[in-house]
Amino acid sequence: MDFFIQLVVNGLSVGFIYGISAMGFVMIFKSSSVLNFAHGELLAMGAYIFLVLVTWAELPVYAAFLLTMAACFSLGFIVERLFLRPLIGEPLIFVIMLTVGLAAMFKGLILLIWGGNLHTFPDFLPSWLSLSWGSVSVQPVYTLALVVGTIFLVLFGLFFKFSSQGIYMRSVADNQRAALSLGVNVKKVFALSWAIAALVAGMSGIILGIINGVNVHDLSAIGLKVFPVVILGGLDSIGGAIVGGLIIGLLETLTGGYISPSLRDVVPYIVLVFILMVKPYGLFGQVEIERV
Amino acid sequence: MKKRVFHPCGNYHENYADQLKVYETDYGRFFAAAGLVVLFGLAPFVSTPYLLYILNSIGIAAIAVIGLNILIGYTGQISLGHGAFFGVGAYAAAFLATRCDVPFLLSVPAAGLITALVGLIFGLPSSRLKGLYLTIATLAGQFIIEYVLVHWEDVTKGTMGITLPKANIFGLEISGDIPFFYVIFLALLVMLWLAVNLMRTKYGRAFVAIRDNDRAAEGMGIPIFPYKLLAFAISSFYAGVAGAIWAYYTVSITAEPFNLGLSVEYIAMVIIGGMGNMSGAIFGAIFITGLNELLRWAIDLMMNMGMVTQTGLNLAPLREFIFGLAIVLFILFEPRGIAEVWRIIRSNFRLWPFSY
């Protein structure tokens, strides 16, 4: 029983982090319907920038965190400006292939600079963050993730609901051409959504780095695990990303605990194929209705 | 004797049959024939074993890339699982050859068919949907197949791998680089011929219609879901055949090479070679395989000169970076790939000095 409860708690904590990682992905998909295959590399970029700032520059954690956020924000901006802006109006297939290329490029770059070894952050989390009830315990990182993730979730909810930029983004996601003709600056919206997505990715990269250590192979694998999460939750739903993440995380740890550890990493993809078969738009995704 | 046709300076097609021609002029036919003579008569005998090995790798990759090009370039769907499908073909051929004693000539197409069936399993749920769900489903396929190849030990022998018997065509044993050169390039020729002609049939036109505008295609009476599935099955068939030949060529196979990296490599070949152009597949295979070898050579050279040390620079990340960069640059600056560059160069010659 304790084993089961511990597995469930672990699964939910891992899943919540998957959900946060998927949020950035959903941002980009919502505003420009691009599947971003370079998402894992954006996660890794954030983690490595933080690593450099904390270990090499020896900045205090808060300053390093804020600087990393700023750096990721600009990185997203630059990526959009350099690589995606020229492709506005081109068929979507080119944009998606471009993200596949970007993923390979970033991964190679990170490997060239930092190598493929596992790096770890110095331990900086206070121990009062760890929670425990009886025999079940939650590590401090997961509490941190819960707090930070909830803050981001609420901020995003408010941003999309009330700020003018958020409303522009929703309008572009809904119908790019209509938004354009109503005077929405679509280029600005794209740039902003990439910047915000990179920022969220950087944040989740840092959290993942605290949990598993920083390694570009692991982080880019998590970037791909975002796909089952978002398909399950619904490609265009930020709340769905969190729920999808929780379910996938739970399934993963339960399979790892009860069936076989090697099946653990494949289960999300089996779920993915299954979901595509029975409920292709996911739990919370909007069903596409075509009117010609 | 028929009147010889030289290059016209414009597009003078008068009917549909003109437009469907494979060779615009007799020059094209002549150069293709000359190229074949050089390829089959000369190339295997003048090249070193190392060069021959590279040529063979190019040939195998080209078969797989032709298939992927049918899917990406002509039907407008992306597959991120072709590395794994290549592996399915290799394992299917190995299984048929070792367990069922199926001869080479039969096991290669059979492996292709098995791969097409496996492809259908992953294509089925996604091709019912519009948009690029196939990409996501094939990504899942890539990981699931990788897992199955390692863990279904009864069939694949897990990490031990399978050693294939020597290929045998009507009692003629095929081993070594030169006989395989003929097998690979004859297979490439047949598959290329099939693909080029498939694109001239109603199926090919339906694929292109779906790529260009799926709503309009549906309105014209093309049932898009069966056609998308068909394109995907054909494309997996090509990957399977390539994988099967590769398995015979390398003799011993393990599940290791069939990873996502290989899938991305094939996509890179399609983009760089030229989407929607059959010669593009071959250009892409040559470019990427050549680039691979060039990088290896450059790094060896730099290491010999002492400019970099073994620990300082590793081949794999640099290769990955350059692949990514090549994909990105080609999409940004020449989205139709080398095939388009080649066409521009040719028409510059043809239209000189009045190139307007």
Asked whether residue B113 carries a pLDDT value surpassing 90, the answer given is: yes
The predicted-structure confidence for A186-219, as pLDDT tens digits, reads as follows 888 889 889 989 998 998 898 888 888 888 888 8
Domains in chain B, ordered, with CATH?
51-351 (1.10.3470)
Q: Give me the residue from A94, A111, A290 closest to B317, CB to CB.
A: A111
Q: Are the beta carbons of A227 and B271 separated by less than 8 Å?
A: no
- Of the residues A26, A28, A45, A105, the best mutation for testing chain B's interface (the one with the most B CB atoms within 10 Å of its CB) is A105
- CB within 8 Å of B265: residues ≥ 6 apart: B83, B288, B323
- Per DSSP, the residues of B121-168 read HHHHHHHTSSSSHHHHHHHHHHHHHHHHHHH-HHHH-GGG-EEPPPEE
Question: How do beta strands B172-174 and B167-169 pair?
Answer: antiparallel
Q: Are the beta carbons of A101 and B126 separated by less than 8 Å?
A: no
Q: Are the beta carbons of B140 and A228 separated by less than 8 Å?
A: yes
pTM of the model: 0.88
Name the phi and psi angles at B253, rounded to 5. -125, 145
Task: State the amino acid at position A243 in one-letter form.
Answer: V
Task: State the amino acid at position B120 in one-letter form.
Answer: L
The token duo for B305 is: 């000169």
From the list B161, B306, B344, B142, the residue with the least C-alpha distance to A224 is: B142
Spatial separation of the C-alpha atoms in residues A81 and A88, rounded to whole Å: 11
- Of the residues A48, A82, A97, A270, the best mutation for testing chain B's interface (the one with the most B CB atoms within 10 Å of its CB) is A97
Spatial separation of the C-alpha atoms in residues A54 and A269, rounded to whole Å: 35
Asked whether residue A61 carries a pLDDT value surpassing 80, the answer given is: yes
Q: How far apart are the first and last CA of chain A?
A: 55
Report the gap between the CA of A287 and the closest CA in chain B (Å).
11
Asked whether residue B195 carries a pLDDT value surpassing 90, the answer given is: yes
Query: A22 with A245: CB under 8 angstroms?
Result: yes
Number of H helices, E strands in chain B: 16, 4
Tell me what pLDDT residue A292 has. Answer: 60
Mean pLDDT of chain A: 85
- Of the residues B332, B333, B334, B336, the best mutation for testing chain A's interface (the one with the most A CB atoms within 10 Å of its CB) is B332
Cβ density class B112-123: b for 16+ within 10 Å, e for less: bbbbbebbeebb
Cβ density class A97-122: b for 16+ within 10 Å, e for less: bbbbbbbbbbbbbbbbebeeeebebe
The predicted-structure confidence for A63-122, as pLDDT tens digits, reads as follows 898 999 999 999 999 999 999 888 877 777 888 889 999 999 999 899 888 877 888 887
Under DSSP, is residue A265 helix (H, G, I), strand (E, B) or coil?
A: coil
Query: A77 with A182: CB under 8 angstroms?
Result: no
Residue in this structure with the two tokens 């029975």, named with its chain if needed: A278
Q: Give me the residue from B122, B133, B328 closest to A101, CB to CB.
A: B328
Between A and B, how many CB-CB pairs are < 8 A?
138
Name the phi and psi angles at B7, rounded to 5. -70, 120
A267-278 vs A216-233: helix crossing angle, rounded to 10: 20
Q: Give me the residue from A97, A116, A266 closest to B331, CB to CB.
A: A97
Q: Is the dihedral of CA B122, B127, B129, B135 positive or negative?
A: positive
Tell me what pLDDT residue B90 has. Answer: 93
Spatial separation of the C-alpha atoms in residues A107 and B328, rounded to whole Å: 14
Nearest residue of chain B to residue A94 (CA atoms): B331
On chain A, the residues whose CB falls within 8 A of the CB of B80 are 37, 100
Nearest residue of chain B to residue A225 (CA atoms): B140
Q: Are the beta carbons of A100 and B72 separated by less than 8 Å?
A: no
Q: Give me the residue from B143, B151, B318 closest to A108, CB to CB.
A: B318
Nearest residue of chain A to residue B144 (CA atoms): A266
Query: Which residues make beta-bridge pairs with B173?
Result: B168
Q: Give me the residue from B130, B132, B332 closest to A288, CB to CB.
A: B130
The token duo for A143 is: 């509490």
Under DSSP, is residue A131 helix (H, G, I), strand (E, B) or coil?
A: strand
Percent of chain B residues topping a pLDDT of 90? 30
Query: B199 with B62: CB under 8 angstroms?
Result: no
Question: How do beta strands B252-253 and B172-174 pair?
Answer: unpaired
Q: Are the beta carbons of A272 and B140 separated by less than 8 Å?
A: yes
On chain A, the residues whose CB falls within 8 A of the CB of B124 are 277
The predicted-structure confidence for B160-187, as pLDDT tens digits, reads as follows 778 887 777 777 777 778 888 888 999 9
